[in-house]
């Protein structure tokens, strides 16, 4: 929770911390096993829960025989819809003034009825003294069903897809001119169909919850990317006062969107603890994660591009069908980036959804763009091939001055510079235009390029910053550490804002008793919290000056805040006069100074959210803010087996200002690694007859291993975005966008074969 | 329940265990050594890697009773804050992790791997198994560390950290 600097190189107070590659402040605890994750907190009388999953996709439970399970020594409870304590249903619709109303990934009220909504839905929870007993007993629960006709085959449901509906803050699709007509009239065009499979986040930490009741008070340890969502959702569902619910999540073992919603395990663990009347832990098995936590939806996409013979784009058509569950889910907005990347005369972007009796999908790293760029950027490569033009040259030629769809201004965009730098670092100029021109025995080599694009969100965060007499600073914010180095980068930001060494700053996070933070998602946590940290530090500096000015002996007497800089642990004017915070505090007899951002009342909170939403809508009407980049890669394809190896990777990003190059590079590389997985190996296999996920484990779902990825060269332009705090844009998601296309384009260059279905497995290449 | 003497990080403890208890669960639930993580419980991710008599194993696929009176080393026995092992320091310097969940397994696995290399064990990418000395190249490290998944994708930093210590 508290993460103090451990072994960072000592710095002089005047050297800025922002922009420096400092080691993570939680490095020592994370490399020694000391950092606490959800399933690590011991409770002396803890009981263990496990789930029983439905084996049909839709229907009713006709009987549940729990007798054998209950007879197992050590079983404390077998909870089914017949004996589960009733819960309040999840919020029926999303309230924009209370984003926690979107916390539930589904409208299903778990164990609330005999209905089954997807194959794998929890139908029973077994609670026992030990994990071994719980697992044994769960296997003895016998469930009978009356199955009803279910839609479980996404490919077959394509024809039933219906247009997706937008919401005011996120309009659906886009249209400029008559793209279909322009496409038909284009001298050169491509019209392609792409498919992408379901994917799962597969954070290495499976979702876990420990729930402890004390009367109506509930303490929950939960692996969540959204502490406040969990807290509010559980208070709603269990109909208990919000003040009595505490959520603790000091470290999250990876999220990628999979821990953004409150899924079954969290709710059912709290229910189990209530029934068993003792602390209960429900650490999902890997299989249970697959069956109860929604992943990325499968998509079917059409990308059609029309161009003049010189490469000028005349039409972009990008439409997509994605899967949603009958009981929840959201469209995978695959065409979003296609409104923003290339200057085309006409554009058509449209999404639709096919409804299945399946686990609702959720957001997975760069929802929309991660798989949408596969189609768009593969299409650009195919068009370049048709034009006999270098694919990078085609992109350069269509780089827009303003937002292609509607002419809004870009807050900042220098993609052209990223293209140039990336091409230099990679040696792109040496690329032969013709496919199959780089052979090395049985190995065919190819080079591919693709553009990366992601629009980070910005939310609201409450923060307090306190500076003590001894010069130490404590930043408090209930944000989530999912691996981004949240404490490290906010310590850097606060250090500079107050003019103290970064070692003097301690960051407390991961607890709902701290000021409320937004979810870690949408590449928005760092910028969101940074904005509040900066404001709180400013308030603190003003308080310090106000305090100093009360004394006639202070060199700051008569000074205005704008004349002062924060450095060397205090406030100083250009002529060197000034004093330290410690001197100011000592003279006044005050123990500390505090700066604070956040509503003090619930009315104030709603008012703040109204202001925030109004600002956000206004911002979106005026301008487009995005992180961009470019990927270059080399693949080696075994001509005989069709095996693809990625052998080289260069990526250059335009992500605004980078707070910590070390941690930012790691996040960007991580996105690329996940993208290589999506390109070559990742797919959640679903039996289309039953809707059952087959191979629900890491032995069958192949995430990239060490040997699958080369050393990855990442760099960035480091140009601040003029419209964000410190000029930073989120780096969590842009890295994955474009990756699968870069690989597929390199494979085409190597082999002459255009694969349009992910993952790009040897059968698809040879077939 | 059966009595099992487990020697972990130099300390012997007598436990009464259900014979079905895995070594991983014994460490975490019975000895309070939660640094070793459960990522998949089926031997596919490597997060639970520990050292037994210096060799790396996945503790989720081992029954605790099989490892009575063997020398087990977990991440807690490798180093602690303030007394870090050079490999732990290198992981921090090279940013060989993000969320940290797979890190205990990565570090234990790397220590086992380095010992295997010192003992002259080849890997599937070793160019010549009869060579006097096998060079620990990046491809060698990557191959030998491919049993440890890192979903955050900190693979570059992990390799650099291992290279730094192997030098």
Residue B159: list chain A partners with CB under 8 A: 706, 711
Q: What is the tens place of the pLDDT at every residue in A184-195?
A: 999 999 999 999
| Least confidently predicted of A101-110, A162-171, A259-268, A295-304 | A162-171
Contact B37 A37 (CB under 8 A): yes
Establish if B127 touches chain A: CB-CB under 8 angstroms.
no
pLDDT at residue A9, rounded to an integer: 43
Residue of A31, A36, A251, A713 to mutate, testing the B interface (most B Cβ within 10 Å of its Cβ): A31
Q: What is the tens place of the pLDDT at every residue in A144-189?
A: 999 999 999 999 999 999 999 876 556 678 999 999 999 999 999 9
Q: Exposed, middle or buried: residue A9 (CB in 10 Å: 0-12, 13-18, 19+)? A: exposed
pLDDT at residue A10, rounded to an integer: 42
Who among B18, B38, B81 is closest to A34 (CB)? B81
Contact B102 A39 (CB under 8 A): no
Distance of alpha carbon B107 from alpha carbon B89, whole angstroms? 11
Find, among A608, A618, A596, the residue nearest to A723 by Cα: A618
pLDDT at residue A26, rounded to an integer: 97
Percent of chain A residues past pLDDT 90, beyond the cut: 91
**Does the pLDDT at position A399 exceed 50?**
yes
Contact B155 A709 (CB under 8 A): yes
Nearest CA-CA distance, residue B147 and chain A, Å: 7
Distance of alpha carbon A392 from alpha carbon A402, whole angstroms? 20
Locate the domains of chain A by residue range: 2-35+461-597, 404-458+619-767
Q: Is the pTM of this model over 0.90?
A: yes
Residues A332, A369, A579, A733: which is the catalytic one?
A: A733
Q: Are strands A280-283 and A47-53 parallel, antiparallel or unpaired?
A: parallel
pLDDT at residue A6, rounded to an integer: 37
Task: Record the tokens describing residue A377, joined without a space.
Answer: 């950027």
Nearest CA-CA distance, residue A13 and chain B, Å: 22
Contact A707 B149 (CB under 8 A): no
Residues A103/A105/A106/A108 CA torsion (nearest 10 deg): -80
pLDDT at residue A168, rounded to an integer: 56
pLDDT at residue A12, rounded to an integer: 47
Who among B92, B99, B149 is closest to A703 (CB)? B149
Q: CA separation (Å) from A212 to A42, A52, A104, A273, A274? A: 12, 22, 21, 6, 8
Q: For the residues A532-557, what does the mean pLDDT come to?
A: 96
Angle at A172 between CA A171 and CA A178, to 5 degrees: 115
Give the ipTM of the model, two decimals please.
Answer: 0.98
Find, among B43, B149, B93, the residue nearest to A673 by Cα: B149
Nearest CA-CA distance, residue B99 and chain A, Å: 3
Distance of alpha carbon A564 from alpha carbon A562, whole angstroms? 6
Nearest CA-CA distance, residue B156 and chain A, Å: 6
| Least confidently predicted of A22-26, A505-509, A604-608, A744-748 | A604-608
Per DSSP, A90 falls in state P
Q: For the residues A460-481, what does the mean pLDDT come to?
A: 96
Residue B164: list chain A partners with CB under 8 A: none
Establish if B137 touches chain A: CB-CB under 8 angstroms.
no
Angle at A294 between CA A292 and CA A296, to 5 degrees: 155
Residue of B73, B152, B160 to mutate, testing the A interface (most A Cβ within 10 Å of its Cβ): B152
Name every residue whose Cβ is closer than 8 Å to that of residue A629 and which is 6 or more positions away in sequence: A415, A418, A451, A452, A453, A651, A652, A653, A654, A655, A716, A734, A735, A737, A738
Per the prediction, chain A carries an average pLDDT of 95
Residue of A26, A36, A204, A660 to mutate, testing the B interface (most B Cβ within 10 Å of its Cβ): A204
Q: Exposed, middle or buried: residue A549 (CB in 10 Å: 0-12, 13-18, 19+)? A: middle
Chain-centroid distance of CA A314 in Å reads 33
Q: Extract the runs of DSSP E, i.e. beta strands, from A641-741.
A: 644-654, 685-686, 693-694, 712-716
Contact A32 B75 (CB under 8 A): yes
pLDDT at residue A4, rounded to an integer: 37
Q: Are strands A2-3 and A505-508 parallel, antiparallel or unpaired?
A: antiparallel
Residue B157: list chain A partners with CB under 8 A: 666
> For residue A401, is it left (φ>0), alpha (ψ between -120 and 50) or beta?
alpha
User: What are the DSSP calls for B51-111, one per residue?
Assistant: EETTEEEEGGGSBGGGGTTSEEE-HHHH-BTTB--HHHHHHHHTT--SS-TTHHHHHHHHH
Who among A40, A202, A708 is closest to B34 (CB)? A40
Find, among A236, A293, A276, the residue nearest to A105 by Cα: A293
Establish if B156 touches chain A: CB-CB under 8 angstroms.
yes
Q: How many CB atoms are located within 10 Å of the residue B54 CB?
A: 12
Contact B103 A30 (CB under 8 A): yes
Q: What is the tens place of the pLDDT at every residue in A201-236?
A: 999 999 999 999 999 999 999 999 999 999 999 999
Q: For the residues A588-607, what does the mean pLDDT come to?
A: 87
Contact between A322 and A298 (Cβ < 8 Å): yes
Overall fold of domain A2-35+461-597: Aldehyde Oxidoreductase; domain 4 (3.30.365)
Who among A283, A286, A707 is closest to B143 (CB)? A707
Q: For the residues A431-453, what does the mean pLDDT come to?
A: 97
Establish if B163 touches chain A: CB-CB under 8 angstroms.
no
Distance of alpha carbon A598 from alpha carbon A173, whole angstroms? 35
Q: What is the tens place of the pLDDT at every residue in A228-282?
A: 999 999 999 999 999 999 999 999 999 999 999 999 999 999 999 999 999 999 9
**Does the pLDDT at position A105 exceed 90?**
no
Asked if A136 is an active-site residue, the reply is no
Distance of alpha carbon A392 from alpha carbon A381, whole angstroms? 9
Omega cis (within 30) before A759: yes
Contact B40 A206 (CB under 8 A): yes
Is A404-458+619-767 the same fold as A2-35+461-597?
yes
- For chain B, the C-alpha Rg in angstroms (whole number) is 16
Name every residue whose Cβ is closer than 8 Å to that of residue A140 and which is 6 or more positions away in sequence: A68, A69, A72
pLDDT at residue B86, rounded to an integer: 98
Nearest CA-CA distance, residue A101 and chain B, Å: 27
Who among B45, B78, B155 is closest to A204 (CB)? B45
Per DSSP, A262 falls in state B
Residues written for chain A? 767
Contact A665 B95 (CB under 8 A): yes
Distance of alpha carbon A56 from alpha carbon A622, whole angstroms? 49
CATH class of A404-458+619-767: alpha beta
Find, among A649, A622, A758, the residue nearest to A711 by Cα: A649
Name every residue whose Cβ is closer than 8 Å to that of residue A147 and which is 6 or more positions away in sequence: A56, A57, A58, A59
Who among A42, A286, A482 is closest to B99 (CB)? A482
**Does the pLDDT at position A744 exceed 70?**
yes
**Does the pLDDT at position A96 exceed 80?**
no
Contact B97 A31 (CB under 8 A): yes
Who among B78, B82, B101 is closest to A253 (CB)? B101
Residue of B nearest to A37 (CA): B101
Contact A674 B148 (CB under 8 A): no
Who among B82, B98, B146 is closest to A484 (CB)? B98
Contact B39 A698 (CB under 8 A): yes
Q: For the residues B20-27, what does the mean pLDDT come to?
A: 98
Q: What percentage of chain B's residues is helix, strand, coil (to nearest 5)?
A: 35, 15, 45
Mapped onto helix, strand or coil, the DSSP state of residue A195 is strand
Nearest CA-CA distance, residue A252 and chain B, Å: 7
Contact between A334 and A368 (Cβ < 8 Å): yes
Contact between A225 and A260 (Cβ < 8 Å): yes
Residues 66-105 of B with CB under 8 A from A: 74-76, 78-82, 84, 88-89, 91-93, 95, 97-104
**Does the pLDDT at position A759 exceed 50?**
yes
Distance of alpha carbon A237 from alpha carbon A214, whole angstroms? 17
Name every residue whose Cβ is closer than 8 Å to that of residue B2 and which is 6 or more positions away in sequence: B16, B17, B19, B65
Q: For the residues A670-699, what does the mean pLDDT come to?
A: 97
A–B interface: beta-carbon pairs under 8 A: 193
Residues 40-69 of B with CB under 8 A from A: 40-45, 47
**Does the pLDDT at position A602 exceed 80?**
no
């Amino acid at each position: 929770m508290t993460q103090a600097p451990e072994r960072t190189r000592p710095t002089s107070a005047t050297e800025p911390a922002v922009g420096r590659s400092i080691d993570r402040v939680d490095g020592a605890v994370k490399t020694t096993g000391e950092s606490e994750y959800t399933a690590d907190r011991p409770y002396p009388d803890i009981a263990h829960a496990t789930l029983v999953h439905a084996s049909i996709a839709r229907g009713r439970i006709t009987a549940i025989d729990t007798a054998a399970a209950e007879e197992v020594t050590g079983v404390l409870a077998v909870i089914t819809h017949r004996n589960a304590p009733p819960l309040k249903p999840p919020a029926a619709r999303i309230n924009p003034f209370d984003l926690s109303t979107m916390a539930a990934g589904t409208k299903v009220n778990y164990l609330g009825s005999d209905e089954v909504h997807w194959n794998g839905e929890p139908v029973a929870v077994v609670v026992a003294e030990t994990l071994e007993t719980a697992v044994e007993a769960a296997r003895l629960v016998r469930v009978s069903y009356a199955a009803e006709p279910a839609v479980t085959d996404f490919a077959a449901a394509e024809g039933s897809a219906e247009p997706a509906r937008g919401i005011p803050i996120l309009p659906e699709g886009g249209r400029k001119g008559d793209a279909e007509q322009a496409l038909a009239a284009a001298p050169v065009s491509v019209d392609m169909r792409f498919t992408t499979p379901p994917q799962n986040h597969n954070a290495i930490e499976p979702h876990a919850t420990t729930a402890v009741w004390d009367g109506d008070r509930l303490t929950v340890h939960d692996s969540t990317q959204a502490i406040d969502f969990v807290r509010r959702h559980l208070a709603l569902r269990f109909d208990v006062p919000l003040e009595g619910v505490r959520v603790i999540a000091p470290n999250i073992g990876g999220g990628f969107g999979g821990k953004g919603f409150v899924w079954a395990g969290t709710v059912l663990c709290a229910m189990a603890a209530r029934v068993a009347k003792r602390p209960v832990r429900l650490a999902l098995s890997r299989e249970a994660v697959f069956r109860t936590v929604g992943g990325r939806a499968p998509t079917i996409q059409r990308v059609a591009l029309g161009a003049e013979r010189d490469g000028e784009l005349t039409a972009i058509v990008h439409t997509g069908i994605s899967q949603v569950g009958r009981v929840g889910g959201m469209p995978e907005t695959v065409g979003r980036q296609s409104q923003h990347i290339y200057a085309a005369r006409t554009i058509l972007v449209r999404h639709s959804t096919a409804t299945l009796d399946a686990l609702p999908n959720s957001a997975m790293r760069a929802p929309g763009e991660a798989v949408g760029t596969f189609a768009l950027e593969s299409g650009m490569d195919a068009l370049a091939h048709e034009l006999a033009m270098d694919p990078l040259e085609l992109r350069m030629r269509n780089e827009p001055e303003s937002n292609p769809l509607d002419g809004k201004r870009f807050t900042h965009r220098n993609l052209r510079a990223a293209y140039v730098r990336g091409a230099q670092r990679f040696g792109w100029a040496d690329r032969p235009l013709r496919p199959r021109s780089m052979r090395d025995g049985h190995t065919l080599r190819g080079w591919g390029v693709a553009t990366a694009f992601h629009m980070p969100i910005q939310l609201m965060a409450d923060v307090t910053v306190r500076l003590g007499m001894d010069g130490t600073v404590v930043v408090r914010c209930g944000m989530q550490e999912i691996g981004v180095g949240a404490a490290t980068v906010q310590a850097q930001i606060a250090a500079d804002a107050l003019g103290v060494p970064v070692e003097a700053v301690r960051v407390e996070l991961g607890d709902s008793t701290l000021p409320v933070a937004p979810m870690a998602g949408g590449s928005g946590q760092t910028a969101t919290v940074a904005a509040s940290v900066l404001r709180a530090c400013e308030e603190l500096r003003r308080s310090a000056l106000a305090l100093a000015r009360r004394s006639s002996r202070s060199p700051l007497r008569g000074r205005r805040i704008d004349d002062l800089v924060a450095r060397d642990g205090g406030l100083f004017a250009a002529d060197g006069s000034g004093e330290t915070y410690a001197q100011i505090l000592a003279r006044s007899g005050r123990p500390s100074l505090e700066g604070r951002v956040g509503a003090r009342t619930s009315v104030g909170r709603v008012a703040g959210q109204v202001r925030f939403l109004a600002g956000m809508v206004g911002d979106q009407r005026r301008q487009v803010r995005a992180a961009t980049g470019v990927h270059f890669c080399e693949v080696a394809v075994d001509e005989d087996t069709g095996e693809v190896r990625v052998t080289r990777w260069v990526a250059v990003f335009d992500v605004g200002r980078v707070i910590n190059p070390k941690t930012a590079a790691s996040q960007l590389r991580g996105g690329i690694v996940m993208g290589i997985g999506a390109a070559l190996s990742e797919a959640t296999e679903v039996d289309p007859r039953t809707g059952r996920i087959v191979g629900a484990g890491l032995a069958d779902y192949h995430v990239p291993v060490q040997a699958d990825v080369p050393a990855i060269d990442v760099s960035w332009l480091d140009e601040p975005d003029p419209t964000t705090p410190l000029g930073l844009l989120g780096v969590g998601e842009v890295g994955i966008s474009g990756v699968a296309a870069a690989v597929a384009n390199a494979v085409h260059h190597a082999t002459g074969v255009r694969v349009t279905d992910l993952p790009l497995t040897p059968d698809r290449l040879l077939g | 329940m059966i009595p099992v003497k487990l020697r972990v990080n130099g300390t012997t403890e007598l436990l009464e265990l259900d014979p079905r208890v895995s070594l991983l669960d014994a460490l975490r639930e019975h000895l309070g050594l939660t640094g070793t993580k459960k990522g998949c419980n089926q031997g596919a991710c490597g997060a639970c890697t520990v050292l037994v008599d210096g060799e790396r194993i996945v503790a989720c696929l081992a029954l605790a009773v099989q490892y009575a009176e063997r020398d087990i080393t977990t991440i807690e026995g490798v180093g602690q804050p303030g007394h870090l092992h050079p490999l732990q320091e290198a992981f921090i310097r090279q940013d060989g992790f993000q969320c940290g969940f797979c890190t205990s397994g990565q570090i234990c696995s790397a220590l086992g791997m380095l010992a295997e290399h010192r003992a002259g064990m080849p890997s599937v990418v070793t160019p010549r198994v009869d060579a006097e000395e096998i060079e620990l190249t990046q491809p060698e490290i990557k191959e030998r560390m491919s049993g440890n998944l890192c979903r955050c994708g900190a693979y570059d930093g992990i390799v650099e950290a291992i290279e730094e210590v192997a030098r």
